[in-house]
Amino acid sequence: MKFKSIFSYYGGKGALSHLYPPPKHDLIIEPFAGAANYSLRYAEREVILIDNDPVVADIWRFLLRPDALDICRDSIPRLPSVGDRVSELLGDQPEPGLLRLLQSYANVGTQGAKGVHDQITKFGIKGWSRIIHKLEYFLPRIKHWRFNQMSYYNQSNPTATWFIDPPYNNAAGRRYRQHDIDYGYLADWCKHRQGQVIVCENAGADWLPFTPLAPRRGVKSSYQKSTAMEVVWTNEVSHV
């Protein structure tokens, strides 16, 4: 895959998506969509994204518009500087989804968490030139996807590959804007999905019988002091 992600997201699985089991069904459902990095690896599949975060919803509704790429080509500033504010670069009354999308690039790895910033950082400027290239690569491939803004438990239960990546049940998970989850209820809900179920977590979680992601891998962003070990649960005998 030419690119791993379409936008930067706190806890995104762009660096790890290839380690999870490939989908066994033509339909993939991500109930905590975020940046949907798992589905992006299999973009040709039928995909349903679900997220109750209004900011994430703004981004996906914009990306799935048929004119999104044209708007991006016309609107995204090519040569911003460290310290520039995205909201000012886009002018008066910017398209909300585009604003949120570019804010995810401005301060890499913070979209989805509390306190996303509008100001372009030294980390953000490094990848700015790749934004249009990413959109040109992905948007034609995902135009058939669907997005629903709602809570995960409102999704029906078709046979599908369910990639379930909720906020971690630890201090890192509480940094998400939306993290108020009943993990006991979520565990039961996961077990009753029809088809293939893949659930992501951080080491130490015990609301399902998680095992280390194989090979033993973690994820570390520019803002973390240590690597967070990823664990996984599936409804299959082995996820290796």
Average pLDDT over residues 161-185: 79
Per residue in 48-67, pLDDT (tens digit) is: 999 999 999 999 999 999 99
Question: pLDDT value at position 195?
Answer: 98
Average pLDDT over residues 179-202: 94
Question: pLDDT value at position 223?
Answer: 42
Question: pLDDT value at position 203?
Answer: 87
Question: pLDDT value at position 67?
Answer: 97
Establish whether the linkage from the previous residue to 54 is cis, with ω within 30° of 0: no
Query: Three-state DSSP class for 218?
Result: strand
Question: pLDDT value at position 216?
Answer: 52
What ranges do the domains of the chain cover?
26-234
Per residue in 122-135, pLDDT (tens digit) is: 888 988 999 999 99
What values do phi and psi take at 87, rounded to 5? -60, -30
pTM: 0.88
Question: pLDDT value at position 226?
Answer: 47
Look up residue 214 and give its DSSP letter: T
pLDDT band at 180; cut points 50, 70, 90: confident
CB-based contacts of 144: which residues, under 8 Å, 6+ apart?
Answer: 46, 47
pLDDT band at 222; cut points 50, 70, 90: very low
Domain 26-234: assigned CATH number = 3.40.50
Q: Is the pLDDT of residue 107 over 90?
A: no
Say which range, 114-118, 210-214, 222-226, has the weakest mean pLDDT.
222-226
